[in-house]
Structures are given as C-alpha cells and as structure tokens.
Structure 1
Amino acid sequence: MAEINPDFPHIDLEKERKEILSAFRGLMRLVKNRSKEDTTMIRKAFDVAVEAHKDMRRKSGEPYIYHPIAVARICVEEMGLGPTAIICALLHDTVEDTHITLQDVEDLFGPKVRLIIDGLTKIPEVFDENASIQAENFRKMILTISDDLRVVLIKLADRLHNMRTLGSMREDKQLKIASETKFLYAPLAHRLGLYSIKSELEDLAFKYTEKEIYHQIETSLKSTQDVRNRFIRRFVYPIKEAMTNEGYTFEIKARTKSISSIWRKMKTKGIPFEEVYDVFAIRIIVETPQEMEKSDCWRIYSIVTDFYQPSPDRLRDWISTPRANGYESLHTTVMSPQGKWVEVQIRSKRMDEIAEKGLAAHYKYKESKKDDSKFDRWIAEIRSLLENPDLNAMDFVNEFKLNLFNDEIYVFTPRGELRVLPTGSTILDFAYDIHTKIGDTCIGAKVNNKLMPLSYQLQSGDQLEIITSSKQKPSEEWLRMVVTARAKQKIKSTLNEERKQIADDGKEILMRKFKQHNIRFVSENITFLEKSFHLPGATELYFRIAKGKIDLGKLREFDNDNGLLAHKKKEVTTKRVRKKENIQASIDKKSDTLIIGEDFKNIQYTLAKCCSPIPGDKVFGFITINDGIKIHRNNCPNAEHLMSKMAYRCIAARWRDQYLEEREVTVKIFGFDRMGIVNKLTEIISHQHNVNMKSISFETEDGLFEGRVKVMVYDTEHLDQLMRKFEQVEGVQRVVRWDDENNEPEDYDED
C-alpha cells in the first residue's frame, strides 16, 4: 500500500522517492571518469541532503531535494565541473536551511567542501535593516573567488535553476529576483565565459520584467522558423561541400540570437523585429590539433568568403588576441545571395568548449597549454579590489559590475607588451595597470608618439609611453577620468591617506580650541559636533576644520555642562529622518499593497518623473528617504537598479479600479519627412482623440524626422489608441513611449 503524507494527501510518497532516486541516477550517469571514492562521496552527499531536506517543499509543491539535484546537474552538464562541485551543489542549501552546520560538513566531507559551502551560505539578515542584503551576499560570494572559483560557478548554477522555476513565485518576487539576475548574475556569467548560461539568464530575466515584449519576439521567432531553416540549409550547403572536399572533420550549427539581445538591437537601432538582420549566426566547429587551429580557422574563413562577400567592418579576430575571459573565435559577417547579412563564427572544438563551458573548460586545457591565464589576471584585479577595507558592499558591487560589463581593448607598452583594458579606459587607467606609483605620478603619455593628456580615451592598437613627474599627485578629478576598479581604488586610497593627514591637523586644532573653552576632548563631544554639523564621521569633521570649512566660533552657541557640549534648546529630530523611520516601520512589505488613488497609511506618494506611470502600467512603490513613496513602472529605466540593490525599500502597488485622472506621457515618433505630416499628427491629437497636448517638437535630417510629443492621457489603453493612430499616418515608421532616463528619482541614496 502506498505511503501518504498527511500534509499533502494527494501525493504518493513511495512514488516520489522512486522519482528522486531516478533523478539522482540520471545525474550520476552524466559524471564521466569518476573514481570509486568519488561515487561514494557523491552518494553520501545525496543521502545527507535528502535527509536534511526531507520535510521541505518548493513553492511549486515538489520535494526540495529536486533543486540541489538540478543545480548539480547544471554544474556537470552545462559547466563541465567535477565531483567536488557536485558534492557542494547537493549540499549548498543544507547549512542555511537545515540543522546541519559547517562543522558537520567539514567532518563528513573535509575542509575544501566546507570552504565552498561557507561561500554559498547567505549571511544572516540580523544587522541593519537598511543595508542591502543582496549586495552583502554578492560581496561574500565574490570574496571567495580567489579561494575557490567553484563557489561562483555553483552559485550561478543555483541562480539558473531558480530562474527556470521562477513561475511558481509571487509576481513581486519574480520581478525582484529577475532584476537582480539581470543586474549581477548575467554579467558575471558573461565574464566567466559561460555564454549560453549568460544568454539564458538574460532571457529568463527579460521574460519576467518585459512579459509582453518577450512573448511578441518569441512568437515572431517561431513564426519565421521554417523560413529561417530553409535559408540556413541553402546558405551552408556550398560551405559544407567545399570543407568536405578539403578533408576537414567539422560540424556546422545555426544559433538563434537570444530574445533579450534581439530586443537590445531593436531598441538601440530603433528598428522592428523584421529589420534585425543577425537573428541567427552560423557556427563552424572544426576538429583540429591545437597547433593547427589558427591556420585552419583562417583557411575556413577563406572558403566562406569564396562564396559570400564579407563586410570589412565586421571582422573580429579573437584567435590572435582572445578576450579577457578566454573566449577565442573568428567572426565575420557576409552577404548572402538573398541580400541578407549573416554572421559566421569559425572556431576549433577546443575553442567551442571554452565558449560554452567557460572557466571549467579553460582550466582543463590550460594544464596542457601552460599559458598565462587571463582569468588569473582578472582574479588578481578582484583581489586588489577586495584589499580596500573602506569599500562598503554597495560600492563593491558597483565597482565589480563596472569591470564585468565592459568589453576589452588591446593596447601596447613601448616594448610591445600587450595589455588588456576595459573599453573607455584612459591613459590614467593604463598607468595604474602597470604600477600604482606610475599611476600616482603620471602627467600624460605619448600615444603612438603623440603627446596626449591624462583623460585621453585609449583605442585598440594604441602604443603608450607614460610620462611621470615626482611633483604630480592624484586629485578628486582623477576619479572621473578612470573606469577600471583598480585605478579607482588606488586613487581613493591615496586621497584617503592625504585626507587622513589633513584630518590629523584638524584634530590638533580642535583639541586646542576645546582646551581654550574648557571642553573635554571625549567621544561624546565629537559625536555631538558630527550631528550638529550633519557630518558622517570624525575624520570628515577634522578634515573640514583643517580646511577652515567649519567655524569653531560656534562652540560658544552650545551649552557647556561640566565640559560636555549640549544644545541650548531641546534638539528636534529632523522631519527627514523621522519621516523615513516612520514609513519603514509602518509598512509590511510582504502583505501591504499600495493602491494608487486611495490613502495609504497617511504616507505621501507620488508618481516618479523618470518613467511617468499611468493607469494600466504595472507598477511598484519605492520608499524614498525624504519624499514619501515614489511609484515607478516595472519596466522603468531605473527599476532594475532599485529592485536588485534596494529591494528592501520596494513595495507592491496597483491602480484603483476606475481610477481616471489625466497624466502626462511623452511619445517619440520616427519616420520620413513629408509635407504636412506635423499637421496630420496634431489633428489626430486634438480632433480625433480629444487629447490635451502639452508640447510638440520635431527635428529633421536628410529626409528623416524625429518628433517628441507630450500628451495628457487617462491610461495605457487611451495611450495605445493614440499611438496606433499615429502609426497609420503615411510616412510614420515607428511610435514609442519614451522614458527620460536622465530624470533619476530624487532619493536614490543607497543608505
């Protein structure tokens, strides 16, 4: 007779146990070349995890153990990781969610597994409610990157499975997790060379942050699939024939571009789906010995260009100079007989494995190649970033993300040594990349034998000779000139050192002044002055005193009670602080929903200017520091930033039914400049739709126009009707709702 769980009477536990065992066996079949000891330890980790999670279920209702098994499967199948990673993936939630401790893990599986599990275990949410928990967790995970990179890889596998199963979560949770994924984890996967995982994370995040657009593009891709397949078959046929005749062993794949990258292209180029020419790419993978890779790839390039005309601007040679994350490939874009551009990627099997499995595959090949890994250099950069104790979690995430997102440029020292820097790097970045002292004393450089200033942005291929002076020293302005985390950290470190020396002078001045007025030099008095002058700490107080920015004559305005300072009147807490504390305390972010158009706990709320939400838009509330709650659209340009880094200040919000009030929206119109087109558009606004127009502006260039119209509408339906009418005007190519991305929320402070 089947065993029944009283909490889930419809579930057959015996059947469930068999399915769990079947899932584990499926995982074990993927683990190639494992020793007997590996098999024993993986089985042991599975048994520990099953027992620890036995009473736990996911939001979908399935047993929790499916999640660790799925994470372990991603580690093996999609990253190519080995037995240690599988053990850690199976155990990754045990310390955080069950009775098992880190000491238990070490006793059972050894210190290496303990280290990795510790890195994967979130920090307890017991400290300051206002500190960004996400930022602290991310920092903790990255802290372990120099100890064991598997921490980050397992965390990415964990995040990928959570995103694949995000459908069972509440909508507000979906948005927060998706925003965090897009903001931090997708760029991290990209940096580690895990391109397929990076694309899937971006697509899954996009699916929840821009549901309608995602489904539109998905539908367009499906409807054009047959046509695309026929085109690809015709395109690759002559290449296949020629390569077979040349005696190559190869494989040709067609890879469809990810939905999120198609949308990025549509947005940046301002084009509809039909005009995105590189919806897919052809990938040619050749089996060849490592010493023949470069010559064979160029020979295949020659075969491709024998049949199709290449675009000279679109050749990318990442074989001669691989990207910083180890990616190697030869990319070209060629014109097909049908008049369509097609991207062709040419690479060896080894290069393809590195491109697909990133870091793990890179290290597998590194052992035989004994090359100087660019990953090692990147990890060294992270270590130098971690060396700065003054960097708080939020600053750390910002600096780290800066280094994740940038593409690379390749520049040379006077002796011809190659240096890889992020796009946008300046002479100062290059100087600090060589040595801190050279950076601190840099006054300029000869770039390709021409004298250039510190702020000059480097281009790929530049050759630099740094010029220094012993009288030169860093200034605050330098921070705006650099883009690399290393340069920023070194400049801040030098400035802080200088600031501390000036602050020491200020401290002496204050001690003398206190002595003069019979005031005791104790921490209570220093804290009193910090609060009185609204300063963040003692160092800033001393610094301002040394610079003469604080009038110490004001000491007479305070009461001196036996050497202790006090206000003459009772100090009133500022409205700003009290308001924020009251708001934070009075809201239950899990159950409260702000309904726009109704009173919400006597808290003031307004619509954010950056995205101008109107009824019909999906929205959320953001608790500001001194301006109540701001309502943002879910797809606001700032939403990703707010939800991923300050989710603890976001609350659910929706519009009141029948909430009719006119709101201002900006619409952008693009098209061909024709006589009378502006009259037709204004006629639609005033006569056909009875819409109040606030402003209108048009610019034309070379027969094309771009118009911007501010109108008052009631809701998204009202706006959609108006935009559809605009699209019907002859000459109009595209109509979009426009957000002012420069108009950031007033209270962006990350306290």
Structure 2
Amino acid sequence: MLVEPRTGVPEAARDLSRETKHFTLQELDLQSEKVRTAHRFARDAHINQYRFSGEPYTNHLEATADIVLDWLKPQEIDDLVEDMSCAALLHDSVEDAGVSIEDIKEKFGERVALYVEGVTLLRSDKTKEEQDKEDLKFIAQKGYLTPEVFILRLADRLHNMRTLENVPEGKRQKKADETLRVYVKLAESMGMWVVKRELEDLSFPYVYPEVYETIKKEIDEDTRTSVAFTHGMEGFLRWVISSDCVSCNVEARKNGYWALYRKREREAAAGKGPSDNFSNINDVMSFRATTPSRDPIELYSLMGRVVTFPQFRGLVDQDRYHDYVSQPQDNGYSAIQATLNLPNTGAVEIAFASEDMEEFNNDGIVSLLRQRKNLRQYRRNIIFDEKGEAWFLPLNATYVDYVYMTGIGAQASSVTIDGVETALRQKTQNAVNVRVNRYEDLTRATDPELSEHCLGSTKRKIESDINLHARDLLVEKGKSTLEGVLSPRGLLDLSDSPYATRAVIFPMGLPGLNELYFRVGGNYDLLQEVARRLNEAGVTKEGLGLTTIRVSGENKPGILSDLTTMISDRGGDIYQIRLPNPIARPRDTFVIRIVMTGIDLKEKEELKVLLQHDLRFTEVLVV
C-alpha cells in the first residue's frame, strides 16, 4: 500500500514537463517566403483532389508538415526547417499531380527535390502492395537513404494511419498490415519509439480486431493503468526522490497494446511468464524519473533512494535491474531500470535518466536532428527478403545481423544475394534481394565465430544461444544418465510419474525437472542422491506397477496404431504416450515413449521380443 505524498513537496520535484512553443505551419507561412510558395504550389497542384473523407487533399499535406514540425520543434527558421516543411507539403505532387522532380528542383532547390523524390510513390499498374515494395526498392537503389527522408515517410504514414477509418474497408487491413511489417520496423531503426508505439496501436485493431479488443480490455482493466494508481505512484515517487530537494520529474508512461501483447507472447514462449495475464510484464505502466543533471552519479543516487526506501523493502526484483547508463544499448537507449513486484498489483518498472537521455529514448533520430547533429549513423541499407518485405539495417551490419534479426539465426548457412551465394560475415549491401540458405539439421548449434562478424546486439544473442544450447545438451545428458536409476522402477523419465517427481524435486529444493536433469548432466554424483530419494519414498516397479517402452525409427504411417494394438492384445492399459523431441534427433524420424499398466513379466518379455523383430524400429527399450 502506497502512502499519500506529503504536502509541501518542493516545486522542483513536481511535474516539470512543459510544452515548448515552436513554429507551426501557419506561422511559417507568415514568415517564410519559401514555405508560403510551396504551400501555394501544393494547393494549386492538388486542386479539386479530395481524400476518402471528402476533405481537400491539401489537408493531408498540411497535417504531414505539422507532424514534421511537431517532431522538430523549431525555435527558429533555418534551411532545414524550410526544406523539410516544403518537402512535406510537396511529397505527393509528383505521383498525384504530375509535377516533375526537375520542376520542384528549379523552384525549391536540390535538397527539397531529393526529399520529395525519396518519399514519392512510383506510378505503376501493379497492385498497391507491389507498388509500395517497388517504391522502397526505388528509394534504396537511388541511394535516398538520408534519415530526413525516413522521417518524412513516417510522418506521411502516421497521418494516413490516424485517418484510416475514412479509407474503404477492404483496403484498411492491407494498409495496417504493411504498417506493422515495414513502417514500424523503420521507426524502430530510427529510435523513434513514441512513433513506433502509435503506429503499432493504430494498426493492431485492423489486423487482428478480436485479439485487439481482448488485449485492450485486459490492459485497460489492469490496476496499474488506473488513474488512482498512476497518480498515487507518481506523487509518492516524487516525494521519495525530493527528500533532498533534488530537481526531478516523474511521469507515468503506459506501454502500447501491441507492444505488450507481443512481449507477453515472447515471455510465455520462453517460459518467463504466463500467457493469460500481464502481471509479470513490468512496463504495462512504467514510471520515468528524469533530472536536468547529466551527471550519472545523480541518477544512481536517485535510483538508490527509491530501491532502498523502507516501503519497497523486499519488493525490488534483483533479476530485473539494468544499467544502460554506463553501457547504453546499441540503439543508444540510456537509463537505469529497476522493477518493483508490488503485492496485488504486479510488476512495475521505474527508470532513471537525464532529460537529454529521455528525449533521445523517446524520439531517437529526431532529437538529434533538433540539435543539428551528424546523422550518418542512422543511414540505412534496405534489403528485401524472399517475400519482398523490407528490412532496415545499419551500414556496418552483416548478414549475420540480418539472419538473427529475422529469427532464422543458427539455421542459416549462407545467403544468396541477387542470385550469388554470399557468406554471412559479409557486410550488407543496399537494395538487394536476399534468400537465406539453411542447414538441414534444425538442431545445429550456433557457430561462435559468427559473433566476431556482427553488431553488439547480435553478438549478445549469439552468446545467449550458445549458452542455451550448452544447457540443452546437459539436460539431455542428464535425462539419459537418469535412465539407469529409473529403468529398474519401470520408468525412463521422471516426468512420467508425478509421485516419483515429487519424491525427488521437493526434498532436493529444485524448481523443476529441467533443473534436475541439468545438474545430473554435469554431476554424476547426484545420481546416488536421486536413487536414495526414490528408495526412501518407496518408488519401485512393484509399487508403481508401470512398464515403459521406447521405440524409434524412420517415420511411417500406422506405427502408433500398431503399438497400441500390441499393448492392448497383451492386456495392457496405456497410462500415457509421449513423443519426446531430443535435440539431436535426425529429420523424418520418430521417438515414441509409452507408459502402461497391467503388464506382467511374461507379457513384458513377449512385447519386447515382438518389438525387436519389427524392422520398423531401430531402437527398442522395454523396462
């Protein structure tokens, strides 16, 4: 239970966010002859053109320009502000109004023409989806990969998504799906996380309407998203932090529905959380504590005040502390993150960052553009997969990064670039078509050498995969080793008997069977302890009354049916059937384990002989 914040909280600790006034398109029209001319040119070019809503088409152009200006927040008018505004106003004039790039170049300069040509869709008789892919290839091949072009494209797409309800119903899903597949990835590659979340949540209800309604209801009804909780937590954290009159602002930030849905799916698949609720997801609502100071020591001090506060004692999740200040993420994200597991509420993340850090964390490349910093590191190669989908990679990325970005990872042996086989370690090229060649063995371990030819984020994925694969091998080894202790008891795997499992796991203080297998795989001495625990609990073949068979061989139809008939003919009752999937199993083969009751010693031997003489089985084990 949170206490009410004390009265008299210092002004410096209250909400410091202020909307900084900046030039709007209307104001630029009054003060910039170049923008005013572009605005008039766009109106004339699109005269008598209307959107699906019935409003003049120029409304979209003006809205796109205002989005760009809202991102740039210009306090003064310079060449960049004018050129970006002009390009936003003119971005559809080539496709929809027949204006030539040369005409734009002559009237508004080379840079505006470059931006417009980069954003313009090509005229084509192909489907809209093919046209959009062709457009991206056109941009890539022409080399129009400047971050300013990406920003303009995202502004254009954002306004189109904000008004998608006016588009004919049959076209909405395709546009939303393309936004998730292409433009969300583009926003992420630019570090524009606020824009990314909005694009995702604008697309979600059109792509998966039923899932969206379910997820939205779950999140909106979550205690952590309630006004009472967020306001109470904000005030309480300000009070805790402001004890030394430190200038610090605390704001609640609700994560996006799509982002939370995908995160829950990933964590559930990895066994890190439930698939039916968000209690373990720590950024359903996160609290961002920011300070004007750029001194990292102050951030550590702020974090220390919070996690050591008496009311948070025992609630800090030690496994979810992340220091991205001393070691920022590859995308430049910087903050210190801590998680509180609040009783009857759920996990809540608290992040600490300077105001400069947080501006970049939210806006990415746009925050650098406001400061007129060099944006070279945000130039991107665009490459196209076998489906024609675009992937945006840093200029120094290799195809190792690509295969891990797409989720293929260790299964990739090489790539074929426009028909030419190429090693994964090669740097990515721009505007190419990529087909990934895969190993036959789906269980192949990651090649450690690949970690020397990739970005830092990919290197960490590879190292994690190598560690997981090594653990999986020890788990398999532990299972195999335990068979010597289990087989005299009619078992081959502890999971086949809940009673035997409890007899070992609980007394040994282990969280689950995999942990037991892992430990046995690395320490044979544990076998004696497992045997002792089973003996003490009376786990014997006679006591359990179980018989287990395991057979393997080449996949053929009817095998499982024949096995159940063999068992039934000998009076056996099948207790359970397992289809284990050992990591070293070759393709097109099977492994079946059947646990049964009602089989005596004579029938067990008959079954064993029958199975051993069946040529379909390469391995037969009956215990």
TM-score by length of 2: 0.55
- Of residues 32, 35, 38, the one that matches 1:42 is 35
For 1:206, the equivalent position in structure 2 comes to: 204
From the superposition, tell whether residues 455 and 225 of structure 1 become closer, same or farther in structure 2 (CA, over 3 Å): closer
- Within the candidate set 50, 53, 62, 2:55 is matched to 62
Matched, 1:454 2:449: yes
1:400 aligns with 2:402: no
The Cα shift of 1:71 comes to 0.7
Does structure 1 retain, via aligned residues, the 8 Å contact 2:224–2:345? no
Contact 2:67 / 2:155 at 8 angstroms: preserved in 1? yes
Cα drift, residue 313 of structure 1: 2.1
Q: CA RMSD in A?
A: 4.4
Residue in 2 that maps onto 1:358: 364
C-alpha contact 1:139 1:397 (8 A) present in aligned 2: no
User: Are the counterparts in 2 of residues 120 and 151 from structure 1 also a CA contact under 8 Å?
Assistant: yes
Matched with 1:325 is 331
CA 1:259–1:453: 2 relative to 1, 3 Å: closer
Task: Give the whole-Å Cα distance in 1 for the aligned partners of 2:259 and 2:111.
Answer: 38
Distance, in Å, in 2 between the alignment partners of 1:64 and 1:313 is 52
Q: Which has the higher contact order (CA 8 A, sep 6+)?
A: 2
Residue 164 of structure 1 aligns with an amino acid whose one-letter code is R
CA distance in 1, matches of 2:457, 2:68: 38
Is the CA contact 2:87–2:116 (under 8 Å) kept in the aligned structure 1?
Answer: yes
Partner residue of 2:152 out of 148, 151, 154: 154
Superimposed CA distance per residue, residues 610-654 of structure 1 (whole angstroms, 9 cap, x where no aligned partner): xxxxxxxxxxxxxxxxxxxxxxxxxxxxxxxxxxxxxxxxxxxxx
Tell me the alpha carbon deviations over residues 423-449 of structure 1, each in whole angstroms, 9 at most, x when there is no partner.
Answer: 969999996579xxxxxxxxxxxxxxx
Deviations 1:323-366 (A, max 9, x none): 33332222221223556321112111111221222212124447
Note closer, same or farther for the CA distance 1:422–1:303 as it changes in structure 2 (3 Å cut).
farther
Task: Report the counterpart of residue 77 of structure 1 in structure 2.
Answer: 70
Structure 1 distance, partners of 2:212, 2:218, is 10
1-side partners of 2:150 and 2:278: how far apart?
A: 38
Which of 236, 239, 261 in structure 1 is aligned with 2:237?
A: 239
The one-character-per-residue Cα deviations of 1:400-455 (angstroms, maximum 9, x if unpaired) are 25779x9xx99xxxxxxxxx999969999996579xxxxxxxxxxxxxxxx97535
State whether residues 105 and 113 of structure 1, in contact with CA within 8 Å, keep that contact through their aligned partners in structure 2.
yes
* C-alpha contact 1:80 1:361 (8 A) present in aligned 2: no
Q: In 2, distance between residues paired with 1:427 and 1:266?
A: 31
Q: Which amino acid aligns with 1:305?
A: V
Query: Can you list the C-alpha shifts for 1:111-130, whole angstroms capped at 9, x where unaligned?
Result: 1101111111112215x789
For 1:131 and 1:227, the matched residues in 2 are separated by: 37
1:286 counterpart (246, 267, 291):
291
Q: Is the 8 A contact 2:25 2:66 kept in 1?
A: no
Please say if residues 141 and 152 of structure 1, whose CA atoms lie closer than 8 Å, have aligned partners that are also in contact. no
Cα distance in 1, alignment partners of residues 26 and 158 from structure 2: 26
2 CA distance for matches of 1:33 and 1:286? 33
Stretch moving more, 148-157 or 235-244: 235-244
| Structure 1, 348-357 or 196-205: larger mean CA deviation | 348-357
CA distance, structure 1, for counterparts of residue 459 and residue 61 of structure 2: 50
The answer (yes or no) to whether the contact 2:250–2:288 under 8 Å persists in 1 is yes
Q: Is the 8 A contact 2:320 2:338 kept in 1?
A: yes
Aligned-residue offset at 1:310: 2.7
Q: Residue type of the partner of 1:98?
A: A
1:251–1:285 Cα contact (<8 Å) kept = yes
State whether residues 316 and 339 of structure 2, in contact with CA within 8 Å, keep that contact through their aligned partners in structure 1.
yes
Letter in 2 for 1:261: A
> Are the aligned partners of 1:199 and 1:258 in contact in 2 as well (CA < 8 Å)?
yes
For structure 2, which runs of at least 5 residues remain unmatched after alignment?
1-20, 75-80, 269-273, 415-422, 429-445, 461-465, 467-575, 581-623
How far does residue 168 in structure 1 lie from its aligned partner after superposition? Answer: 1.6
3-state SS of 2:449 partner: coil
1:334 aligns with 2:340: yes
- The offset of 1:395, in angstroms, is 5.5
Q: 1:321 Cα shift?
A: 2.8
Q: CA deviation at 1:311?
A: 1.9
Checking the alignment, whether the CA contact within 8 Å between 2:139 and 2:145 is kept in structure 1 is: no
Which of residues 136, 141, 150 is equivalent to 1:138?
136
CA 1:452–1:222: 2 relative to 1, 3 Å: closer
Identical-pair percentage: 23
Report the CA distance between 1:194 and its aligned residue.
Answer: 0.6
- Output the CA distance in 2 between the equivalents of 1:331 and 1:145: 38
| Aligned pairs for 1:590-601 within 5 A | none
Contact 2:279 2:345 in 1 (8 A): no
* 1:140 to partner: Cα distance: 2.6
Match 2:161 to one of 156, 160, 163: 163
TM-score (norm 1): 0.46
Instruction: Kindly indicate whether the alpha-carbon contact (under 8 Å) linking 1:132 and 1:394 is maintained by their aligned counterparts in 2.
Output: no
Equivalent residues of 1:256, 1:281 under 8 A apart: yes
- Name the SS for the 1:50 alignment partner: helix
Distance 2:48 2:25 in 1: 32
Q: How does 1:446-485 map to 2 (within 5 A)?
A: 454=449
